[in-house]
Amino acid sequence: MSRHGKGASRREGPTELKQTLEAYSRGLELRVWAMADSLRHGDNPSSIPGRGIEVSGVREDQHGDEARGIDWRVTARRGRLFVKEFSQERELPLLLVLNLTPTLWSGRGANKAVRALETASILAAIGLRSGDRVGVVLAGGGQGVTIPPGNGRSQLPKILQALRQAPAWTAPVPLGEALTQARFLLTERARIFLIGDFQLSPPELEGLRPGLGSLRDRHHLIPVRVKDREEGVLPDSGGFILRDPTSSRKGLFSTSRQARDLRKRLAAQEVV
């Protein structure tokens, strides 16, 4: 929910939204490359830190091997300890699925939206620096923009151009539809970063189960939740008009101590 009133935050209007995107875009490509280079570890990092993600074979146990690497099936069959050997996957495509919902643009200076855009930009740069093919699918206000995984000099500017566009709420693309687009876009196993604030209703979450399950079974699905530290924290300063940024419904909400005590008493009566 967004707050209206003195000191309250709200979803940005068209002019403020344009200013926010302009500030975000200023020197973006150079900034993203610099941040990506500072965060990279090795030329082609594994999705699981410290070891590869593909089992390439087994060998007999040697002094210093970790117990978690033991292949118990082979050990039981051969009667002596065997451990798994791992290798990194090379050129694993990376797909960024960004859910640009109205709630993402609510709050102080669209803080969550800027963080989500920066996260997607940096992940794209890291992937391209590592030689991976990177693509993007934009849900919500992203108008269903889809950039197939690719690399080369033009790929990052193309992705950044898509990310810096102002969201359109007139015909939002449901996240479930974006997940379907991602499934048909990928012809091989890939890493998928699902980025958003995940402020979804129980029915919406239930409707996403099939799509999420299908992607998780075949790909490395990594959810990235964007949060605002002050989100949901209301000061003890009287009443606020709250607006749901998704439905635009409004209501009066009091944060005074008396109102909190009354709500507690009413909740206790309902339990009894």
Q: What letters, b where the CB count within 10 A reaches 16 and e where it falls short, cover 30-68?
A: ebbbeebeeeeeeeeebeeeeeeeeeeebeebeeeeeee
Alpha-helix runs per DSSP H in 11-141:
14-25, 28-39, 72-78, 111-129
What's the pLDDT tens digit per position in 148-157? Answer: 999 988 998 8
Residue with tokens 């012809």: 187
Strand pairing report for 220-225 and 134-140: unpaired
Please tell me the least confidently modeled range out of 6-10, 76-80, 123-127, 148-152: 6-10
Residue-level pLDDT at 142: 62
CB 138 within 8 A of CB 177: no
Q: Which of 14-23, 27-36, 87-96, 109-118 has the highest mean pLDDT?
A: 109-118
Per the prediction, the chain carries an average pLDDT of: 75
- What is the mean predicted confidence (pLDDT) over 235-255? 67
- From CA 154, how far away is CA 221, in angstroms rounded? 26
Please tell me the least confidently modeled range out of 43-47, 90-94, 132-136, 143-147: 43-47
Please name the amino acid found at residue 190. Answer: A
Q: Which of 83-92, 154-163, 233-242 has the highest mean pLDDT?
A: 154-163
Q: What is the dihedral of CA 243, 177, 128, 226, to 10 degrees?
A: 20
